[in-house]
Amino acid sequence: MTTSTDKRAADPRIAWYRNVRILRVVVQSVFVAAVFTLLFWLFNNLINNLDRLRIGTDFGFLGRSTGFQIPYDEGFDPRSPVRDMVLVGVKNTLLAGFFGILLATVLGVIIGVSRLSTNWLVAKLAAIYVETFRNIPPLIIIIFFGFAVFTYGPFPVLSNAAEIRFPGADRTGLILSNTVWGIPSFLAGPNIGVFWASMAVAVVAAAVAFGWRTRLHERTGAPERRARWSFGVFMVVALAGLVLGGDAFSISWPELSETRRRVVGGFRLNNGFISVTVALGLYTASHIAEIIRGSILAVPKGQSEAANAIALTGFQRYRYVLLPQAMRIAVPPIISQYLNLVKNTSLGVAVAYAEITNLTLTSIGNGRPAPQSILVLMGVYLMFSLTISFLLNIYNRRIQLVEH
């Protein structure tokens, strides 16, 4: 049957305008030509209009100096080129994204599991949280934190900042104000090399311990306890390295400068960063909680019943039966929620957080060509999303159930 159709297709007696193979090529060429004509016409208009207005049509603006200072970034030199400004924007976006993802995941998992609790109060509270935050636009939550909590909220002005001491410490541990918060951080001391070396040794030792327990289990059937052993070995070696090396770290405490207008030392979190991170963390946590709940519910009820039949405790049931199967279902949507969070950091424009969208808008307002700047902005976000999609595809392929 197939051979005769092939022969028909190749049969020279069929007119070219009825030969399917040729027609397919013709149709596609016409379509591609039409699309390219359209794109060319649009692009041509763009170039013509830009030339008419004498706005540059190239990307040379990336090499010229920025001209303005980036808020809360003392190290940035306004004379550095726009490329560096873009990098700072990307760094700020990723910072807010990373901490937002952290907060969202922790909170989301807790609330997602709470929603399935047998305790009515806990389940209802979790349900209220999810139904509230899922249905409010994230921009409103960001504006709430930016304005109602910071600008008009209970925090004092920086010169009168609340300086809180941790019990037992002699230096200020925490500085709270309506613009900048300061928390302690670690500074590298003179023996930092010893620290890194001992960390490397500890990781190797932990891997060795892991392998040893696995082989021991295979040979003798002794319980694996791999996680406990490798973690223990890691801690012992790392602590030994810290103690022997000595003086690897110092803690940098935040404090107000003499002018009382700046915080020096420690990690400095500005109000834009905190608003965006906390708001997006809360918002995305509600979505992640729903995903987790849905994925746990999607595990067939038979699995839970089987676990109960062999008398696993509740914790064991989750750890060995439910969660591994639920994670397989849950991971792709959760990853796409992470991507949404990173894209939602662009709403930081509303609270003047210096992420890449805000900086792009500022530079456009200062005379940089708008089309190219926005294309660069889109390119940055495309890079994030393509990277994450790529990683997600790899993960999907690895965990997919192989069906025969």
Partner 1 sequence: MADERSFFETGLDEPLIVANEPRPPREKLNPPQWLRKRLFNSWYNSAVTLVLIPVIAYLGWRFFSFLVFNARWDPVRNNLTLFMVGRFPRAELWRVVAQVVIWSSAIGLAWGAAVAGAKARALRAGLPYREDPLLAKVRRYGALLVIVGLFLAMTQTWGPLIIFAGSVASAAVLQFLGSRTAAEHVAFLWAGVAVLGVAGFQVVSGFYGNGWLWMGVPIAVAASKLVGRIEWSSPLAARLARLGGVAVVLVVAYVAYMVIDHRGVGWEQWEGLRLNLLAAPIAIVLAFPLGVALAIARRSSFPALRIISTGYIELIRGVPLISLLLMGQFFIGFFLNTTTPLSSITRAITALTMFTSAYIAEIVRGGLQSIPRVQVEAGQSVGLRPFTIIRLIVLPQALRNVIPAMVGQFIALTKDTTLLSIIAVADLLYVRGIVHAQAEYRAFGIAETLVFVALIFWAITFSMSRESQRLERKLGVGER
Partner 2 sequence: MKRLIVLLVGLTLVVGACADGGDNASSLLDTVQARGTVLCGVNDVLPGFGIVDDAGNFGGFDVDLCRVVAAAVLGNANAVEFVPLTAGERFTALQSGEIDVLIRNTTWTATRDGQEGSTFLLTTFYDGQGVMVPEASDVTSIEDLADANICVLSGTTTELNLTSVFNSRGIPFNPVVYADNTGLRPAYEEGQCDAWTSDVSQLTAYKAAIEDEGGAAQRILSDVISKEPLGPVVLDGDSGWAQAVEWAIMATVQAWEFGITSGNVTGFPTDDDNVRRFLGQLDFEAGLGLPSDFAVQVISQVGNYEEIYNRHLVPIGLPLSGSPNDLWTNGGLMYVPPYR
Directed axis angle between helix 356-365 and helix 82-114, to 10°?
A: 150
Instruction: Look at residues 391, 306, 355, 398 and name the one whose alpha carbon lies nearest to residue 86.
Output: 355
Contacts for 271 with CB less than 8 Å, ≥ 6 apart: 146, 150, 178, 179, 180, 181, 351
Map the footprint of partner 1 across residues 45-74, applying CB under 8 A.
45-46, 49-50
Nearest residue to 161 (alpha-carbon basis) of 136, 191, 183: 183
Residue 277 binding partner 1, by CB under 8 A = no
Which of partner 1, partner 2, none interacts with 38 (beta carbon under 5 to 8 A by kind)? partner 2
- Identified binder of partner 2 from the candidate list 2, 135, 220, 259, rule CB under 8 A: 259
Residue selected from 110, 192, 199, 374 as contacting partner 1 according to rule CB under 8 A: 374
Measured from the CB atom, the residue of 30 and 187 that comes closer to partner 2 is: 30
Q: Provide φ and ψ at 343, rounded to 5°.
A: -70, -30
> Of residues 311-350, which lie at the interface with partner 1 (CB under 8 A)?
343-344, 346-347, 349-350
Give the shortest CB-249-to-partner 1 separation in angstroms: 37
Closest distance between partner 2 and the C-beta of residue 298, in Å?
Answer: 41
Among 14, 116, 370, 392, interactor with partner 1 by CB under 8 A: 370
Taking the least distance from each CB to partner 2, the nearer of 61 and 129 is 61
Q: For residue 17, what are its two tokens? A: 């305008």
Q: Which stretch binds partner 2 (CB under 8 A): 3-11, 211-219, 289-297, 359-367?
A: 359-367
How far apart CA 327 and CA 320 sit, in angstroms, is 12
Shortest Å distance, C-beta 372 to partner 2:
12
- Cβ of residue 374: shortest distance to partner 1, in angstroms? 5
Name the segment binding partner 1 (CB under 8 A); options: 9-17, 133-141, 215-223, 232-240: 133-141
Residue with tokens 């960390």: 199
- Sole binder of partner 2 in the list 175, 349, 356, 376 (CB under 8 A): 349
For position 26 contacting partner 1 by CB under 8 A, the verdict is no
Q: Which is nearer to partner 1, 180 or 339 (CB)?
A: 339
189 binds, among partner 1, partner 2, none (CB under 5 to 8 A by kind): none
56 binds partner 2 (CB under 8 A): yes
Which range, of 43-51, 193-201, 251-259, 268-276, touches partner 1 by CB under 8 A?
Answer: 43-51
Whichever of 85 and 377 has its CB closer to partner 1, that residue is 377
- Name the site residues for partner 1 (rule: CB under 8 A): 24, 27-29, 31-32, 35, 42-43, 45-46, 49-50, 117-122, 125, 131-132, 134-140, 143-144, 147-148, 151-152, 343-344, 346-347, 349-350, 357, 361, 364, 370-371, 374, 377-378, 381-382, 384-386, 389
